[in-house]
Structure 1
Amino acid sequence: MIIQTDIVDLDTATGTMRCHVYRPQASGTFPCILFYSEIFQITAPIERSARILAGHGFAVVVPEVFHELNPIGTVLAYDDVGKDKGNNDKFTKPLEHHDSDANSMIAYFEQQSYCTGTFAAMGVCIGGHLAFRAALNERILSTYCLYATDIHSNTLPCQDGNDSFSRAGDIQGELTMVWGKQDPHVPTEGRQKIYQQLTETERHFSWHELNAQHAFMRDEGDRYDAELALYCYKMAIDQFRRTL
């Protein structure tokens, strides 16, 4: 499919949030994927990933995940300065604000003429965590998380008892978790902890551990694994077509 790109500035509980929307040019309605970026926000690799998904028949919404903490349009560089700023943002914004962001996106896009009103979530790195977090919303029918950070460690700010790990049992839709076994950000013990929590809460989930490093989906840098990236895109697209 040929796709088109729109920019939408949404009102949220914590201020204006810019979203980039990638969707087919063809007439019709399409399921909506909330696609969450890394800490660097909407970089070129994130945009290319969103275009790949949209080209398979989805309306893909990419929010600026730290909109409260940066001027609209901020994109951080893949360098030490960008990493330090992004990590500072990650440890500053409460999870509750990400929840209200998701509510705002769902409320807006379910009213758009090109959306079916069905929603999924997908993300990479911190975005994998935010997709997992979005899955707590009953409107999210299907979720695909890639090397999600900070779930096992409960290191993101939130109210007591409202961390994503403790609330895993609230996820109602289908969930897929994908990990790189050579990823130092989520060690074996952390992955096992999450797996046990999802098992004990009897969630509907699939689990994949690949021989890959952190950020293996990002098509810039020396950790990119093109074959595994294609494999994961196909898994995600197949899941979303089946569940949405």
Structure 2
Amino acid sequence: MSKVVAKLLTDTQIALHSAQSDPEISALLTQYGYNPETLAEGVALYEAAANLHHGVAANYGRQYAATDRFQEQWRTVNAVLKRQRQIARVAFRTDRDRRHRLALATLANRSFANWIAMATQFYDAALKDEAALNRLAQFGLTQETLVDNQAKVLALVEEKSRQSRRVGNARQMTNKRNSAVKALRHWLRDFIDICRLALVDNPQALAKLGALMLTTHGRRARATQPEDQLVAHGTSTAEDPPPDDGATL
């Protein structure tokens, strides 16, 4: 849908520029109430929609960058966690109590929230259990190594929060843009009809107003049609789980 909005804005810019700058067209439109002041209202609506449309693109660019950064960090942290959980499964192969307390069972629902809960439980339980730490150290998994990746898990929560804010900002900007486009289309409904009426005997002048006069921009079918929501720009909110949780042992 963003291409539809971009075309609408381009077509509107051409039509309004011609209506304001061409003396013949301007004179004819003035007879139907579209004097310079009225056209200026349309220009203001166009500029508001165009500025917000550009803002939407910028916000989604930042959102995509934040999402990519988050998922790359998640994959990296999970790769270490996966190996550590595999080691723990070997270390506590016959210790059902510690396997439960360290959350070593397969992660059934691998949303980020469940993944974080599992990772937090694993590190908290392991680091509070001296006997478990000693057992893990026998397999080369030291307390320092556990603490290091635990810190990265906590940092990942902060990165997720930043990524979520980007999603919210992009959605908010899109809603504002959609409202501005709706207002512009509402104004264009009468403008298009009056242009066609005023210039009905002057097709050359009508052609100068461009493609806007040949489309249904601003007509009833478009006046209330919602523009691209978040889904039109990609639905990723960085909830894709890591490839696996190392539950192979």
Q: With the length of structure 1 as denominator, give the TM-score of the two structures.
A: 0.19
Larger % of helix: which? 2
Q: With the length of structure 2 as denominator, give the TM-score of the two structures.
A: 0.19
Larger RCO (alpha carbons 8 Å, 6+ apart): 2
Q: Over alpha carbons, which structure has the higher Rg?
A: 2
